[in-house]
Amino acid sequence: MQAPSVTKTKQRLGLLSLVVSVGLVAVKFYAYYLTSSQAALTDALESIINIFTSSFALYSLYLSGLPKDENHPYGHGKVEYLSVGFEGALILFAGIYTFYSATLTLLHPHAVARPDWGVALLAGTALVNLIVGFVLVSQGKKLSSIALVGDGQHLYLDAVSSLVSCLALGLVFWTDNVLYDTAAAFVLGAFITVNGFRMLRRSVSGLMDESDVEVVRQVIAELQQYRQPAWIDVHNLRVLRYGANLHIDCHVQMPYYFSLEETHTELNKIEHLIGQRFDVEVEMFVHADPCTFAACSLCHMPDCPVRQHPFSREVSWTVANAVRNERHHLSS
């Protein structure tokens, strides 16, 4: 379970995102009301999505902070992936609708009014989104919250949309050519659609328990750096992320003549080592495998009473070999 202070911090940041989204959507629709700009409308529609996604993200942050229970033995952290998926789906829908609306405008163009006011209003919203987005992304990474990071990246996306709209309105103001406005809408539609798809992809990866390769590298590096002679081999290493928390399990080959107490001591060393490596809660399960004589050439256990073969060399653990569900051999 996350510390209460961490959970409250996440929820306060989620509430900040929601309040900002509500305020900015009003400003953007006022900009559209003044200008009748297709680019401004696209920007405003995306901001409506911000309200829904920020609301869902705030609720997901509340759920992810709940303790484990008998129905959720790994906690509620995965709801953050659902939040990102919901956000990505709505962004994808907004991108598709933008293409549709821009196509209608291209076929039936209309004048853009007061583009100078549109530039001023949208530039202001872009600045606010950049600031709040930076806070959410930086704090989301610090707190290991994919929902906050996703929400912050959406605000970055919103800021880019506003800046593109500003550029389009500025060109319309200087050239009196409304095609710049329509072209900007198409560009924004493509940009929004691609980013929505990426967010969906990230959500599906988390919900399908796709392994976090970067965390796997960190775990292996830690085990390799503080390797003990009794840790003959590590394999079948798996790392799953549940919201901010990590679930790690692996198999470690140890001398078969160790007592249960000695084996338990070595396993505790590994769990403590990995637990200290990360700033989030780590749930680690290590399965001990007894060594065989085939492992003698890879083992440099001092004063081994049952050694059958001399030590040849140590196999370095890497992402390529530690995740396999098979023991290493001299040819590795």
Residue that is written with structure tokens 């590994």 in the block:
270
What is the rounded radius of gyration, in angstroms, for the C-alpha atoms of the chain? 27
φ/ψ of 118, rounded to 5, equals -60, -45
SS3 278: coil
Chain center to CA of 61: 14
CATH number for the segment(s) 213-322: 3.30.70.1350
Q: Do domains 4-207 and 213-322 have the same CATH topology?
A: no
Q: By CB neighbour count within 10 A (0-12 exposed, 13-18 middle, 19+ buried), where does 97 fall?
A: middle
Count of positions (residues) in the chain = 332
In tens digits, the chain (332 residues) has pLDDT values of 445 567 778 778 888 888 888 888 888 888 888 888 877 777 787 777 777 777 777 776 676 666 666 665 566 566 666 667 777 787 788 778 778 777 877 777 766 777 778 888 888 988 998 999 899 889 888 877 777 887 788 788 788 878 888 888 888 888 888 788 788 878 878 887 887 788 777 776 666 555 677 888 899 999 999 999 999 999 999 887 766 678 888 999 999 999 999 999 999 999 999 988 887 778 888 999 999 888 888 888 888 999 998 888 888 888 888 888 777 664 44
- Domain assignments of the chain as residue spans, ordered by start: 4-207, 213-322
Alpha helices per DSSP H over the chain = 4-35, 38-64, 79-107, 115-142, 146-175, 179-207, 213-225, 260-277, 319-322
State the fold for domain 4-207.
Answer: Alpha-lytic protease prodomain-like (1.20.1510)
Cα pseudo-dihedral 292, 294, 299, 305, rounded to 10: 60
> The tokens of 239 are what?
């790392």
